[in-house]
Amino acid sequence: MEVSGLPLELWRLILAYMRLPDLGRCSLVCKAWYELILSLDSTRWRQLCLRCIECRHPNWPNQPDVEPRSWREAFKQHYLAAKTWTKNAQELESSNCFYLFRRRKDRRILYVGPGCEFDNLGSALTSANIYDKIVLFPGIYEEQGEIILNVPVEIMGQGKLGDVALLVCVDQHCATTRLCNLVFMPVWFSPVMYKVSSGHVQFDNCNFENGQLQIHAPGTCQVKFCTFNQASISLHSVALCVLENCEFVGSEIASVTVEGHPSSDRNWAYKHLMGLVKSSSALSTTQDSALFNPSNQETLGHLPTGNLRTCEIVVGEDQSNFLATSKSPQACEKDFQKENEINKDLCPARDKKEIVHDADSNDGSQSSGSENEPEDQLVYKLYHQPPGLSHTLARSLLGQPQTARLSNLQNGLELKTLHQELQRDSEAQSLASSLQGCLIRKCLFRDGKGGVFVCSQGRAKMEGNVFRDLVYAVRCVQNSKIIMLKNDIYHCKASGIFLRLEAGGLIADNNIYSNSEAGVDIRKGANPIILCNKIHSGLRSGIVVLGNGKGIIRSNQIYGNKEAGIYILYNGNPIVSGNHIFQGLAAGIAVNENGRGQITENVIRENHWGGADIRRGGDPVLRSNLICFGYSDGVVVGEQGKGLIEGNTIYGNKGCGMWIMSSSLPHITSNQIAHNSIYGVAVFCQKDDANDYLINQGSNENFNDEGEASNWENELDGEDDHFSSRRPISVALIESNSINHNGAAGLYVKSNEALNVIANIIHANQESGVAVLQSTQLTRIANNSISCNHLGGVLVESECRVELRGNGIYDNSGPGVSSKGDGTILENDIIGNRGCGLQLLQAANMKI
């Protein structure tokens, strides 16, 4: 009959009575009939899927209210998976002719129960032949001894799940078995309910209560739509086991334990499981371009790149020209209004008075004689050879305007998608596509001690699972590897993911949040790859790396954590790159207690304390990051902090751009430090009142391992693999930075240690360019350009030791140099300042 002979509604009504084989035959008639059968997806295919006692809702247990994309496809996948156990292609070794009966159509069905042929499971198994089906009628079946399963059979419970309960201890010796619609409970003499040593077992729609499943290599298992209630499964050196759509509840140990390197000895089911997994895999890296869509995530937005004022200084060979390109006050005011509007869009939660700009801070506005010059350009011609101005002023820092730098930075620091990351990282791509050991997919782990424990070189892959209300979600130790993709991990009482003892793997595209300790905890030589995760709202830090832990941490969103977004300490040495770390209640990144790390090209913004916090022997490389709009300081280098801080843009923070303790030893070079509300760079001594300021700068993380005390001093390697490219320094060094448009002094020094300030541009700050209020050791200020600051160029208070050499001090609103202290002033250009060129006050003792 032609399909067009009846209305579609009538066809659907008629076809709703057809069984699965009949629907299959109808779909083979012609294309029109095939499309008609496909159109039954939300009606007949849905009924077939939900009425099947062998399975549950395709999205159970995590999203039982969400319909699958196709009910027919979901039913097809389950149907194919349910047949895996029958694909045994090996000949039974006991007889050369048994394989002829392997799939015989007339296999028997044995019934067990009151009034049936068999009273108990043991007697039915004794009479069963290969591939017979044993049906258990409702009831409780208890076996007093261990059952040895020598014949491949299918055992199914009649009725609803829970009607048939087995109190058994089964040891499977045959090649394959399937069990369905049963409740397993342990017998009195053993907690082990089912054990496999060599064959393959398939569990569909079963419950396991208060016992254990054990699978030993070369055995395999396939577990689907099962519930483990205070029960667990242990996998020992398995080549491949698959756990799908299962629920693990209330386990007092890890719900799944994967132990031992995957065995090279594989049984017949390995290739069939591998094919089944690949055909239905939830991961499709080639189709994940929508992952972390910038329109759906917390991104930085657009930086104010188009209207920032610039100052360019050109030093000539014969006749030196000082050129300060400037805009009129009216133009600058418009620019700043536009900046403020953009800043409001970037940080809607910030106070409207976050950054206050004064139109009078326009470059060159203090200069006399400007009436005869064009409004957009002021030219000072110095008809003499500048004796001390270093050629360093014309280096790259001056050659690239701030506008271009910010624009390039904005374009370069966008979050990459997982697909982009896998394309550029062959190791991560290889891990994402690999499959060894155990695959755990679309499962729910809740209300227990642990989710998955991987140890002794074990391998496990986890996709699309939910871990909640556990002590920990995943623990990986002893050279094991985990691959975690698209999981949700939250409300753990300790950290979400632990990695220890040289563990590694790939942790990508997960949502890790609201855990009591760190989202990811890396220690003792562990070295994972952490890509494109959302790690947020934790009660402690987002990621912790300590005890010689390593790792590659890239393209993650880390936000809203109560402690540091990333905390590195005790010789932790990760590579942290391309992350967005924002809106944390403490520091963005904290490096303490001899922590190290390479921290590059991250966006660190809107954190309540320092964007980066380095102290107590912390010695990182902090390079090419955007650290902006923090509620406190951009970078804090506390007591005994070290590190190379290079090429960062530190912009628009409510505190200082950089806050440094004089007892620290940082190398600060080639940074853009601008538009911060207080000082551009502030150096304080240890005895200063600034100690009160430091109380809340660091994090108070608990680094004990699940509450147990740890002696970290014994775990630290004596090896010190510092970065070979680092230039050793013995005095804190601030060089080649651009420090401009900050709310107070560009550089503020109140220190009892020596300090070198070399070849910086200190420009258009709201107070003095450089203010030295305390300096018991020598502060060397050499080859800097100090211009257009609202107060003096350099201010030196009494009892301060300062050397000023080879600086260009131009066009400041007050004196070029005002000193009450001691020291030398050599070979400087002090030109065009509104006050005195050089002002010596009180008991100043300067050699000029």
* Domains in the chain: ranges and CATH: 15-92 (no CATH), 644-686+729-846 (2.160.20.10)
Confidence (pLDDT) at 597: 96
What span, in angstroms and rounded, lies between the C-alpha atoms of 789 and 794? 10
* For range 604-616, the mean pLDDT: 95
* pLDDT at residue 717 is higher than 80: no
Say what percent of the chain tops pLDDT 90.
Answer: 59
- Amino acid identity of residue 590, one-letter, is A
Confidence (pLDDT) at 699: 44
pTM, entire model: 0.82
What span, in angstroms and rounded, lies between the C-alpha atoms of 694 and 587? 12
Confidence (pLDDT) at 59: 83
Confidence (pLDDT) at 277: 84
What span, in angstroms and rounded, lies between the C-alpha atoms of 515 and 487? 14
What do you get for the CA distance between the two ends of the chain, in Å? 110
CA distances from 699 to 206, 568, 631, 656, 696 (A): 46, 11, 16, 19, 7
Q: Could you identify the residue written with the tokens 């448009």? A: 741
Confidence (pLDDT) at 92: 45
CA distances from 537 to 420, 511, 532 (A): 26, 11, 16
Collapsing DSSP to helix, strand or coil, 815 comes out as coil
Q: Which residue has the higher pLDDT, 428 or 357?
A: 428
Burial pattern 809-819, b for ≥16 Cβ within 10 A else e, equals bbbbbbbbbbb
Confidence (pLDDT) at 606: 95
At 71, the pLDDT band (50, 70, 90 cuts) reads confident
* pLDDT at residue 460 is higher than 60: yes
At 281, the pLDDT band (50, 70, 90 cuts) reads low
* pLDDT at residue 791 is higher than 70: yes
* pLDDT at residue 178 is higher than 50: yes
Q: Which residue has the higher pLDDT, 65 or 834?
A: 834
At 378, the pLDDT band (50, 70, 90 cuts) reads very low
* pLDDT at residue 818 is higher than 70: yes
What span, in angstroms and rounded, lies between the C-alpha atoms of 238 and 684? 59
At 405, the pLDDT band (50, 70, 90 cuts) reads low
* For range 588-594, the mean pLDDT: 96
* For range 332-356, the mean pLDDT: 41
* For range 316-339, the mean pLDDT: 38
- Amino acid identity of residue 26, one-letter, is C
Angle formed at CA 136 by CA 132 and CA 142, multiple of 5 degrees: 115
Q: Comparing 46-55, 199-208, 695-704, 727-736, which segment has the lowest mean pLDDT?
A: 695-704
* For range 102-111, the mean pLDDT: 70
As a 3-state breakdown, the chain gives helix, strand, coil percent values, each rounded to 5, of 15, 30, 50
What span, in angstroms and rounded, lies between the C-alpha atoms of 149 and 435? 29
Confidence (pLDDT) at 149: 92
* For range 28-42, the mean pLDDT: 81
What span, in angstroms and rounded, lies between the C-alpha atoms of 546 and 427? 23
- Quote the mean pLDDT of the chain: 81
DSSP 2: -
239's CB contacts (< 8 A; 6+ apart) are 217, 218, 220, 262, 263, 264, 265, 266, 267, 270, 436, 437
Q: Which residue has the higher pLDDT, 33 or 735?
A: 735
Other CB atoms within a 10 A radius of the CB of residue 634 amount to 34
* For range 710-726, the mean pLDDT: 45
What span, in angstroms and rounded, lies between the C-alpha atoms of 178 and 538? 43
* For range 655-668, the mean pLDDT: 94
* For range 121-149, the mean pLDDT: 91
